[in-house]
Amino acid sequence: MKTALVSTLALTIAALCSGPSPVSKPEQKIAGQYVEARTASVFTGACHYNGELVTTGNQAVLAWHFTSGQWQGVDLSGVRAMAAVSSDANLGQNAARRTELVIDSAATDAQAKAVAALLREKSAGQLGEIVTTRRAPVTFTRDDNNQYSVTSEGFANLSVTPMPNGECCKQPSLVWYSPLTPVENRRVGFTKSAAYTAGTLGDRWQREGENSAFYGAFAF
């Protein structure tokens, strides 16, 4: 009995001295700001939507500004990236897609590699095959009024503003498609201008003055 009590006491003292078990920190969510513009209206009447469904809407430019999170052990905070997506059919349909990705030259090589790997894994269905990845300056600005301006010289650019009076929220049945990146509380934007100028995926294009954008906070 005496031996058992001594053993129990020794184990108790050892547990107290060792302190509490370390608590693992929760993984930080990969998040940031996102905007896209398509070659088809995403908020419009049914007749207009049906007309574009078979004639256009097969291309888009997208942009991400990462504000938090890690992938493959690499911190992605501050990285900016832009992409151009092209398909033989409207992006609302199930057709093969090809994507050209540009990652801001201010990112480190490790960050660029991690962002490309992240998008290949998490957005394969939306982006399809990422055929090229290159480095170039990418500017991404968003003001307090949710006006977006993104540019990568010689590749693509877009300028998007919110829709007046939140029209798309009042008439959700007229919102077609879903953003090409998971977006929390997505909003429809008015595309002041959007263009794909590189021409390496196909024809260059330019659009302006239509409700062809989505924007919001993304999270993987």
Boundaries of every domain in the chain? 28-219
DSSP, res 69: -
Contact assessment for residue 29 and residue 208, using Cβ atoms and an 8 Å cutoff? no
What does 13-51 look like in DSSP terms, one character per residue?
HHHHHH-SPPPPPPPPPPEEEEEEEESS-SB--HHHHHH
Cα torsion through 156, 178, 129, 197, rounded to 10 = -10
Note the pLDDT tens digit of each residue in 183-211: 998 999 999 999 999 999 889 999 999 99
Mind listing the pLDDT tens digit for each residue in 50-64?
999 889 999 999 999
Three-state DSSP class for 146? coil
Predicted pLDDT of residue 173: 86
Residue 88 is given by DSSP the state S
Q: What is the pLDDT of residues 136-172, one digit of tens each?
A: 999 999 999 999 999 999 999 999 999 887 667 778 8
The pLDDT of residue 197: 97
Q: What is the pLDDT of residue 11?
A: 47
